[in-house]
Chain A
Amino acid sequence: MATGTEPAVEVVDLARTPLRELNARLHAAADEPDAPRSWRVSNPGGRHAIAVGLDAPFEVDVEGHVGYYCAGMNQHAAVRVHGNCGVGVAENMMSGSVVVEGTASQSAGATGRGGLLVIRGDAASRCGISMKGIDIVVQGSVGHMSAFMAQKGRLLVCGDAGEALGDSIYEARLYVNGAVTGLGSDCIEKEMRDEHAAEVSALLTRAGIDDVDPAGFRRYGSARELYNFKVDDAGEF
């Protein structure tokens, strides 16, 4: 039963409202103290660049499938996509969270510098490419070249990982529960110590996943052999 004190939810129907207006309103609302904090976007219809450049602790629910770059460069907002995502969901995210209830296309969380990206289904190739501090939790599996040139942050995969995981990785930490088809250049399996097990448990908790055993994960990261040019490494690239 409604109490009359529930926060107002601003509903924006993209079947009637231009995308430009949605994003402009979300941006303007960040500076308005009385603006609604909860937003619902209906009929996304696979449009690109939905809810990008947010810079306020809003809750934004997108009711359906989205195209490229949903929640790109997010700061502070909690965006939830009740559907599947196209390329580059939460690209370059700085903070806040993005939850994808379906699956995600390639380059999910690309270059993200902070915040949490959760994908309930699978993520395609290059998940976490060039990540720079973001945490990514994939409840399903990830495709090939995931965490390519990953610099910082954590990628946790509850399912399997495709070929060339962590190719040319820097200091990001990768955890995979299932099978890894193959590791990329300079990516090696590393010992799971207590602090890593705790990290896995914490990431699962933050992602709201309670049916996966943290003890099953293996850790991967950089061998740091390619950090400086050495002629004898030429064959490794």
Chain B
Amino acid sequence: MALRESALFSREVIAEIQRAAREGVYDIRGFGAKRRLPHFDDLLLLGASVSRYPLEGYRERCDTNIVLGDRHAKRPLELDIPITIAGMSFGALSAPAKEALGRGASAMGTSTTTGDGGMTPEERAASKTLVYQLLPSRYGMNPDDLRRADAIEIVIGQGAKPGGGGILLGQKISERVAEMRDLPPGIDQRSACRHPDWTGPDDLQIKIEELREITDWEKPIFIKIGASRTYFDVALAVKAGADVIVLDGMQGGTAATQDVFIEHVGIPTLPAVRLAVDALQELGMHRRIQLVVSGGIRSGADVAKALALGADAVSIGVAALVALGDNSPAFASEYERIGTAPGFYDDWQAGRDPVGISTQDDELAARFDPELGGRRLANYLRTMVLETQTLARACGKSHVQNLEPEDLVALTVEAAAMARVPLAGTNWIPGPPRDD
């Protein structure tokens, strides 16, 4: 009789039960959700034909510039492309890796973002436009860096773990990381999941006012949320006074989180974008407050579809690290030595990254060339922008931001319901009719 694998107790499930029985503690890992989820792959763009006319590829203009944060701030961000680099901490990443993110982003005229560990001088110097995160832990937070930043991002949550705080295991708490975070070296650091000095949207509004007063109303204030009760969270962020909302779907990456959290909490990016745009439109704030979407953005196709659903820009994290060299086949033998392989490596929490990106080991970090990494990231961003423009021109758009839901159809009933675009070949959008 042929061997028969259980769908319920797959080999992966059995292996996890055996691991849990052996170790007695949940699995912590990096990367993002690995399960199959409804995503932008389940949408298609409708190119132009008789009923619409396209723009010439390579000849007619298709602009990509965006402005972020012009609701209240004196100095909004003016970016050349609608793709930014998401917040990733020094601590989770090596200093050369942070520098490379700044170099790549700056070469393409876009922004990069600090993370849960403060701002390093290398990162500031390498980043033309740097967004400074204010997180619950407040590690390294100081007013000089607030003033040095180009924008401030209040992090309420991230897609990989809405409702959870950060983790940085002891093997990555080097002397420098410990000093920046005011912690003893070598401890397993647990960041708080709630901010220490405000609770709820009314307090948040006052917190935003304080940050504006400290920086003389110059800096745009971003609010980053993990996708869960997105409609209400976005509405409350608007009410609290955000200039920009950063929405991270459950596919968003993490340097270290419990696997059960990554795979089972939050909602995918696809429905989250739709809900966020709903909230902004109903409040009359769509495009007045910019929406930056992250969580599984990999290509110009993802960018174009996110913009068509109503996002103003997207942000990348995991994809940026892969562009830097993470999971590179060039290090196959070294990955094998630590029990993994290129394409599978997700132990970013362990600090043994052979490429030198997700580590605080000086020897490993020295392998990584920030100049080369920056060039690779710029190449990747350039490719994504070209792809996005190609698709936008095919839809007849002279600016990528002119893409609209009408340009989209869905391949699956689930995606049609979540994105609220018709199932391909039909005019059917599943779900109750809208009030309007």
Contact of B188 among A92, A111, A149, A228 (CB under 8 A): A228
The answer on a CB contact under 8 Å between A49 and B25 is no
A170 in contact with B210 given A24-B216, A73-B143, A129-B197 (CB within 8 Å): no
Contact of B183 among A52, A53, A94, A170 (CB under 8 A): A170
A52 in contact with B137 given A91-B197, A107-B197, A130-B192 (CB within 8 Å): no
Nearest neighbor of A86 in chain B, beta-carbon distance = B206
Within 8 A of B (CB), among A41-58: 48-49, 52-53, 55
CA distance A24 to B25 in the complex (A): 52
Query: Which residues of chain A are near B146, meaning CB under 8 Å?
Result: 53, 73
For B24, B138, B146, B186, the residue with the greatest tally of chain A CB atoms inside 10 Å of its CB is B138
The answer on a CB contact under 8 Å between A68 and B203 is yes
The answer on a CB contact under 8 Å between A228 and B170 is yes
Contact with B along A80-119 (1 / 0, CB 8 A): 0000000110011010000000000001001101000000
The answer on a CB contact under 8 Å between B187 and A111 is no
CA distance A92 to B138 in the complex (A): 8
CA distance A6 to B324 in the complex (A): 61
Contact of B209 among A49, A55, A87 (CB under 8 A): A49
Within 8 A of A (CB), among B96-152: 137-138, 141-143, 146
Query: Which residues of chain B are near A20, meaning CB under 8 Å?
Result: 213, 217
The answer on a CB contact under 8 Å between B142 and A94 is yes
For A69, A94, A107, the residue with the greatest tally of chain B CB atoms inside 10 Å of its CB is A69
CA distance A114 to B215 in the complex (A): 20
Decide yes or no whether B182 CB sits under 8 A from chain A: yes
Decide yes or no whether A166 CB sits under 8 A from chain B: no
The answer on a CB contact under 8 Å between B182 and A133 is yes
The answer on a CB contact under 8 Å between B182 and A132 is yes
The answer on a CB contact under 8 Å between A49 and B182 is no
A94 in contact with B143 given A49-B206, A73-B214, A227-B188 (CB within 8 Å): yes
CA distance A78 to B294 in the complex (A): 43
The answer on a CB contact under 8 Å between A111 and B197 is yes
CA distance A20 to B74 in the complex (A): 13
A53 in contact with B196 given A87-B203, A92-B142, A133-B182 (CB within 8 Å): no
Decide yes or no whether B232 CB sits under 8 A from chain A: no
The answer on a CB contact under 8 Å between A110 and B196 is yes
Query: How many residue pairs at the A-B interface have CB separations less than 8 Å?
Result: 105
Query: Which residues of chain B are near A92, meaning CB under 8 Å?
Result: 138, 141-143
Decide yes or no whether B184 CB sits under 8 A from chain A: yes
Interface of A is mostly: loop
Contact with A along B87-101 (1 / 0, CB 8 A): 000000000000000
Query: Which residues of chain B are near A48, meaning CB under 8 Å?
Result: 206, 209-210
Within 8 A of A (CB), among B170-197: 170, 181-184, 186-188, 190, 192, 196-197
The answer on a CB contact under 8 Å between A69 and B206 is yes
A72 in contact with B183 given A129-B197, A231-B24 (CB within 8 Å): no
The answer on a CB contact under 8 Å between B196 and A72 is no
CB distance from B313 to the nearest CB of A (A): 29
Query: Which residues of chain A are near B203, meaning CB under 8 Å?
Result: 68, 87
A52 in contact with B210 given A149-B192, A229-B25, A229-B188 (CB within 8 Å): yes
Interface of B is mostly: loop
CA distance A25 to B143 in the complex (A): 17
The answer on a CB contact under 8 Å between B182 and A152 is yes
CB distance from B144 to the nearest CB of A (A): 8
The answer on a CB contact under 8 Å between B170 and A132 is no
The answer on a CB contact under 8 Å between B210 and A69 is yes
Query: Which residues of chain B are near A234, meaning CB under 8 Å?
Result: 25
The answer on a CB contact under 8 Å between A130 and B213 is no
CB distance from B396 to the nearest CB of A (A): 45
CB distance from B362 to the nearest CB of A (A): 22
CA distance A229 to B209 in the complex (A): 38
CA distance A170 to B206 in the complex (A): 29
Query: Which residues of chain B are near A55, meaning CB under 8 Å?
Result: 143
Decide yes or no whether B207 CB sits under 8 A from chain A: yes
The answer on a CB contact under 8 Å between A151 and B197 is no
Query: Which residues of chain A are near B53, meaning CB under 8 Å?
Result: none
Further 14 A-B residue pairs, CB within 8 A, beyond A49-B206, A151-B183: A20-B213, A23-B216, A24-B216, A48-B209, A52-B213, A68-B206, A69-B207, A69-B210, A73-B142, A87-B206, A94-B142, A133-B182, A168-B190, A171-B184
| Top 3 closest pairs, chain A to chain B, by CB | A53-B214, A88-B197, A132-B182
Question: What are 25 A-B interface contacts by the 8 Å CB criterion?
Answer: A48-B209, A68-B198, A68-B206, A69-B207, A69-B210, A73-B146, A88-B197, A88-B198, A92-B141, A92-B142, A92-B143, A94-B143, A107-B197, A113-B141, A113-B182, A130-B196, A148-B196, A152-B182, A168-B190, A171-B183, A171-B184, A227-B187, A227-B188, A231-B24, A231-B25
